Amino acid sequence: MTSFRKDRVAELIRQAISDIVVHRIKDPRVQGVTITEVLMSADLKSARVYFSCLADGQDEFHKSGLSSAEGFIRRELRRELDLKYIPELSFFYDTAFDHSSRISQLLREIRVPEPENDK
């Protein structure tokens, strides 16, 4: 299977899950969650779904909400997408935003001394 097809299916699933999470799941544990990336296995039967959430530090809380809604999400994916197999979903917190925030904070802390004007 080509990488192009795998990436295309991953993007379709990401968009569909994002829509399902925002518009159809009423669980408060899932509110404020953004689906950032989906990585598919080579056989398209499993997917790693990465999410981020507001800077509330409750990533395990949100992960438990997504995991409990997995059956509902897969059922909705089956209705929306024309795929032979609907993949098993595994949810993971995406730490990329935390890392970029930390790097930005460190860069702000670095101060370049201004040259003194001696006349």
pLDDT in tens, 65-119: 999 999 999 999 999 999 999 999 999 998 877 777 778 888 888 866 667 776 5
Decide if 89 is inside a domain: yes
Q: Which residue range is the domain that position 25 belongs to?
A: 3-109
Decide if 83 is inside a domain: yes
d(CA 54, CA 31) in angstroms, rounded, equals 9
Q: For 3-13, what is each residue's pLDDT tens digit?
A: 899 999 999 99
State which H helix or E strand residue 22 sits in: helix 3-23
Decide if 38 is inside a domain: yes
Decide if 18 is inside a domain: yes
Decide if 71 is inside a domain: yes
What is the tally of structural domains in the chain?
Answer: 1
Q: For 53-68, what is each residue's pLDDT tens digit?
A: 876 778 899 999 999 9
**3-class state of residue 89 by DSSP:** strand
Decide if 44 is inside a domain: yes
Decide if 34 is inside a domain: yes
> pTM for this structure?
0.81
- Which CATH number goes with the domain that contains 32? 3.30.300.20
Decide if 52 is inside a domain: yes
